[in-house]
Amino acid sequence: MMTSTASLSPSPAGAGIFSTPTLASDPRHLLGLEGRTREDLLALLDAAAHERDHLRAGGPDRSDLAGCVVMLAFIEDSTRTRTSFDIAARRLGAQTIAFSASASSLNKGESLLDTARLFEAMGAQLLVVRHSVSGAAAYLAQRLPRMAVINAGDGMHEHPTQGLLDLLTLRDHWKGQFEGRRLVIVGDIAHSRVARSAIAGLTVLGAQVTVCGPETLIPADVEALGCWRATTLDEALEGADGVMALRLQRERMEKGLLPALGEYASRFGVTPARVRLMKPGAPVMHPGPVTRGVDLPCEVADGESSVVLEQVANGVAVRCAVLQRAWSAWKAVHR
C-alpha cells in the first residue's frame, strides 16, 4: 500500500542551518533546490539546455567567465561532479583551482572557514564546495561576503546541480511535461542528498515521486517531503515513468543499517523484469557511482533503458548554466 501525507519541510532538521531566505534568494549562491519556484527551476533548465546546444555544436571555448577564479573545494570524494564543474568552468573561460583536503592545511587542523577565507582573500570569486556535513555550503555562504557559493553536495542534505541534471534528463524523456509523471527512487533514501534534491525539484514541477528501499534506509517521515512510500519495488514500478536507483552509502551508515547485499539486490535491484513493469521507454537513472550487480545489474546499467551517461553529459551543461548565473550575479554585486 502506498501512503502520502501533507508536505512539511524537506530538510532533515529544519531549514535554518541549510539556508536562510536571504541566502536562498541571492542569485550568487546555489545551496539547494528546496524552496525554489517552478519559474526559477524552469529558467535554470532552459539555460542548461541552451548551454548543451553550445557544447554539442562543438564550437570554440568561450570567454564569458574571463577574469573569474573558481575554487573547487571537494572535501569529500568525487569523480563526476568535480570533473564536470572543472570542464564547465574552463569551457566558459574561467580559471579553476582544485583544492583537496588531503594535500592542504586542513590536515594540520585549519578550519574549513579559515581555509575558505584564504580563497576569498586571494581574490577567488566562486567557491564550489562539497563537504560531508549537511549545511556546510550555507555556513560558508553566510560568512564569506565576497564569494558566490555553489553546493556540490553537503552531507545528507542536498546536491542541487545533480538535481538539476536529473530534471533536465527527465524533461527530455518526458517531452517537457512533468505534470502527471511519476519517478520511483529506490535504495538508500535516508543518506541520499541526490534523492532530496530530486524530490524537491520534481514535486515543485508537478511530478510525483515514489520511494522504496529497506525500512532502515527510508526516513521515518519521508512522506513529509511530499512523496509516496511503496512497500515493494514491483508495486512502485508498476506503470511508473522512470526509476532512479541509488547506491548504498556505507560511508554515512551506522552499523546495523545495511542489509545483506544478496538480499538487497534481490529485493531492490532494478532487474530487466522490473524495468518492464514501467511504461515503455521509461528511463533508468543512477547518479553514480553504480555498484554493479547490486543497485543495477550489468544488463540494465548497459541496456537501452539506461540514461546514466546522458545524465553525466547533462551535468556539464547544468554546471555551465549555474556558473554563468553565479558569475553574472557576483559581478552585479561586486563590480
Place of cell 539556508: 19
Place of cell 521507454: 281
Q: Please state the closest distance from residue 301 (CB atom) to ligand ASP, in A.
A: 14
**Residues 220 to 239 in contact with ligand ASP, rule: CB under 6 A:** none
Give Cβ neighbours of residue 185 (< 8 Å, ≥ 6 apart). 192, 195, 198, 199, 209, 210, 211, 212, 227, 243, 244, 246
Nearer to ligand ASP, 65 or 199 (CB): 199
What would the grid cell of residue 220 be? 521515518
Cβ atoms of residues 267 and 293 within 8 Å: no
Place of cell 573561460: 93
Determine the Cα angle at 206 with ends 47 and 269, to 5°.
Answer: 95
Give me the 53-92 binding string for ligand ASP, x by CB under 6 A, dash otherwise.
----------------------------------------
Q: Please state the closest distance from residue 147 (CB atom) to ligand ASP, in A.
A: 22
Which one of 12, 93, 259, 288 is in contact with ligand ASP (CB under 6 A)?
288
Which one of 249, 311, 314, 324 is in contact with ligand ASP (CB under 6 A)?
249
Give me the 151-180 binding string for ligand ASP, x by CB under 6 A, dash otherwise.
--x-----x---------------------
Nearer to ligand ASP, 68 or 243 (CB): 243
Q: Please state the closest distance from residue 249 (CB atom) to ligand ASP, in A.
A: 6
Q: Which of 308, 252, 329, 318 is nearest to 91 (CA)?
A: 318
Nearer to ligand ASP, 68 or 194 (CB): 194
Cβ atoms of residues 70 and 97 within 8 Å: yes
Residue numbers at the binding site for ligand ASP (CB under 6 A): 153, 159, 193-194, 247, 249, 287-288
